[in-house]
Amino acid sequence: MQPGQMAYDRAITVFSPDGRLFQVEYAREAVRRGTTTVGIKFRDGVALVVDKRIASRLMEPTSMEKIYLIDEHIGCATSGLVADARVLVDNARVMSQVNKITYGERIGVEALVKRICDYKQQYTQYGGVRPFGTSLLVAGVDDTGAHLFETDPSGGLASYKASSIGAGRNVVMDFFEENYKEDLAMDDAIVLALRGLKKATEEELNAKAVEIGLVSFTQNFRKLTLEEVEKYVKLANAS
């Protein structure tokens, strides 16, 4: 046990003397150990790219799901504990449908992300529970534009033009700082995201281990087929 930590990590409701919640920090560590996940905005939409990190050749790549449809105009990618992510996605889907039934319109992207984060925050202040060990990159479009949000296990959120969560976050963010440009075409943005993913994994990308989701003002959120992914991965590996 580290000096000063004592037993402050035994319960989520106890602050350490320097104002830290260790259980939340442990949840962030679970995210940092997760698969590298990338989100990037382009001219009229947002792309999500995930390295599924296939550990065995015996594993069926299609059984590993890291990108989820929430509503027709919103999707998300996860890093961290997959089971925790599924709970948050199911909850977000219910929120979206309740809003549609109640108000007769699609929920705004920021409004949904705030509700997800409110739900996550509740699990940082009650005894007998633990924080969600997952972060989400939420991509969507609405009347106010295209949006890319990152959520934190603490319930915090931030909006980005390009972002990354998971094991290679720092490498990808440094890459984006140098290479990202606004108003990118969709194909250029996807290839740039894949190049960032390649830099983080330090090896050539395998199309079967990569998942890509897209949403724009002209098309609903969808995941690309293997044939489409292979085309983009080939371009990223060649660059």
67-125 tens-digit pLDDT: 999 999 999 999 999 999 999 999 999 999 999 999 999 999 999 999 999 999 999 99
In a domain, 139, yes or no: yes
Query: H-helix or E-strand containing 27?
Result: helix 22-32
In a domain, 14, yes or no: no
In a domain, 156, yes or no: yes
Residues 6 or more apart in contact with residue 28 via CB below 8 angstroms: 152, 153, 154
The confidence score (pLDDT) of residue 227 equals 95
- Proportion of the chain above pLDDT 70, given as a percent: 97
Which is more confidently placed, 156 or 54? 156
In a domain, 9, yes or no: no
Query: Do residues 42 and 189 lie in contact, with contact meaning Cβ atoms separated by under 8 Å?
Result: yes
Where does residue 159 rank: exposed (0-12), middle (13-18), buried (19+ CB within 10 A)?
A: middle
Which is more confidently placed, 60 or 135? 135
Residue with tokens 């984060």: 117
Split at pLDDT 50, 70, 90, the class of 231 is very high
In a domain, 11, yes or no: no
Residue with tokens 């699609």: 106
- Proportion of the chain above pLDDT 90, given as a percent: 80
Q: Which two tokens stand for residue 25?
A: 């920090």
Split into its structural domains, the chain has a count of 1
Q: Give the active site residues.
A: 35
Q: Which two tokens stand for residue 22?
A: 């260790």
Q: For the chain, give the mean pLDDT.
A: 93
Residues 6 or more apart in contact with residue 6 via CB below 8 angstroms: 16
For residue range 175-225, what is the model confidence (pLDDT) as tens digits? 999 999 999 999 999 999 999 999 998 889 999 999 999 999 999 999 999
For residue range 124-183, what is the model confidence (pLDDT) as tens digits? 998 889 999 999 999 999 999 999 999 999 999 999 999 999 998 999 999 999 999 999
CATH number of the structural domain spanning residue 145 = 3.60.20.10
In a domain, 10, yes or no: no
The 8-class DSSP code of residue 108 comes to: P
- Phi-psi label, residue 49: left if phi above 0, alpha if psi -120 to 50, beta otherwise: beta
Split at pLDDT 50, 70, 90, the class of 18 is confident
Residue 146, domain extent: 35-238
Residues 6 or more apart in contact with residue 120 via CB below 8 angstroms: 88, 131, 132, 151, 152, 153, 154, 155
In angstroms and rounded to an integer, the radius of gyration of the C-alpha atoms of the chain is: 18
Q: How far apart are CA 30 and CA 63, in angstroms?
A: 21
